[in-house]
Amino acid sequence: MPIKGIISPDIVQLNKYDLRIIGLPPLVITAISGIEEELDMTDLPDRTKATGGRVKPVEFDITIPAHEIQSQISMESWYGETQDPVTPTHKKVGTLILFTQSSLPLRAFTLVGMMPRGRNLPDFELDNDGEMANVVWPMSADSIEPDLI
């Protein structure tokens, strides 16, 4: 049952976002997995927990269609920067922008120290009905900071 008058009608939709990464051209990203941020915790002798005061790095996945060649080439080049010899620019800054139903930017999050951790190609099989092939890029970031728009 909807709760009228409590939730603003101009909601943030899950399919209205943009992830911009400084130093890369705009990427065609069809999915971003949930980004979970958590504190570093310590177990105390009395079996309770306390915060260590630090936030752990975040990990998430981005999905890019395999046929989006420019996006794939950009990601492959960046992934190459993270391998030996690691370049000084291998960690980048990204901004995740969330848009409302009326396409207004509402929230933004800055991802500091972003880098790809790997590349996952899809399972290819001849009996597939022609589903779009996607490449999943596991990512990490040192921190995620909320921004005001």
Q: Around Cβ 26, how many Cβ atoms within 10 Å?
A: 12
- Number of alpha carbons in the 13 Å side-chain half-sphere of residue 144: 22
How much is the pLDDT for 10? 85
pLDDT of residue 55 exceeding 70: yes
Average pLDDT in the chain = 93
How much is the pLDDT for 148? 80
Six token digits for residue 82: 């993270």
**Is residue 32 within 8 Å of 59, Cβ to Cβ?**
no
Whether the bond into 26 is cis, omega within 30 of 0:
no
Percent of the chain with pLDDT over 70: 97
**9 vs 80: which has the higher pLDDT:** 80
pLDDT of residue 67 exceeding 80: yes
Mean pLDDT of 121-148: 94
pLDDT band per the 50, 70, 90 thresholds, residue 112 = very high
pTM of the entire structure?
0.88
Specify the amino acid at residue 18: D
How much is the pLDDT for 63? 98
